[in-house]
Amino acid sequence: MTDKMAMHPVITVLSLLLLTVAPGLVSAQADEDIARRFCVDVLGQSKYDATQCFIKPKGFKISAGKDQAVLTYLCCLGLFNDVTHSYTPYMSKDLIMYVATSESASNLLSVGRFIRQCSKIAAGKLTQNDYAYWQRLGKSTRFCKAPRKK
């Protein structure tokens, strides 16, 4: 692990969970085209960032049944701190895990649009509940944060 990852204990724990602990974890069944769309078109990363994020997971040993694409998506979100735009500081753990376990390419692209659109304007970290609210009410910046129950 790099020093940058050591500075983010939550990210480190999630990374280790994804790589070793989570039995049967199923991620998006994505190919390079979906990964590039997610990174470049949806999240606004450079083509170089997308290429690096696609290549890096191939260096990891991942248990059978786990898809390396999940590491590509997390890299594109900035989990490893080496892309142009880092979105993970604006995301709650549940939203990061939601991306990591997404099985639908269209859903993955949709949550990516939500993260990009809402990450820097919403107060606090974005949650999975915020994503559902945004999706249900029209995918507008007015709906980036779900009302909190009192």
The string of pLDDT tens digits covering residues 85-118 is 999 999 999 999 999 888 888 999 999 999 999 9
For the chain, percent of residues with pLDDT exceeding 70: 75
Q: Give the end-to-end CA distance of the chain in Å, rounded to a whole number.
A: 40
Q: Is the pLDDT of residue 59 over 50?
A: yes
The pTM (predicted TM-score) of the whole model is: 0.75
Asked if residue 121 has pLDDT above 50, the reply is: yes
Return the SS3 of 149: coil
Overall average pLDDT of the 58-75 stretch: 76
Q: How many CA atoms lie within 13 A of 112 on its CB side?
A: 28
Residue 150's pLDDT band (cuts 50, 70, 90): low
CA dihedral 98, 99, 100, 104 (to 10 degrees): 100
